[in-house]
């Protein structure tokens, strides 16, 4: 399955935010609560609640960060 290039910024935002939400929520849950029987269900719930906030944030912030990096690099 190939996605048209015009959707690349949306796909980038979706994938980056999903990966970050999964990694960070797992880290926070394991450091604060340790491994326990309900961890996976709690982690999935945390991801589901957090991703709708992370996705639009990345979609809005990523172009700004790219411009800043473009100005700061040679």
Residue with tokens 């809005």: 60
Domain boundaries, the chain: 9-72
SS3 label, residue 73: coil
Q: What is the pTM of this model?
A: 0.84
Give yes or no for a contact between 58 and 17, defined as CB atoms under 8 angstroms apart: yes
Q: How far apart are CA 3 and CA 64, in angstroms?
A: 24
CA distance 26 to 59: 22
Burial classification of residue 13, based on how many CB atoms lie within 10 Å of its CB (0-12 exposed, 13-18 middle, 19 or more buried): buried
pLDDT tens-digit series, residues 1-52: 899 999 999 999 999 999 999 999 999 999 999 999 999 999 999 999 999 9
């Amino acid at each position: 399955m190939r996605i048209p290039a015009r959707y690349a910024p949306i796909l980038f935002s979706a994938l980056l935010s999903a990966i970050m939400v999964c990694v960070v929520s797992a880290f926070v849950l394991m450091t604060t609560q340790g491994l326990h029987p309900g961890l996976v269900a709690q982690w999935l719930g945390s991801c589901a609640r957090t991703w709708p906030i992370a996705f639009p944030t990345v979609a809005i912030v990523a172009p700004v960060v790219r411009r800043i990096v473009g100005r700061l690099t040679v």
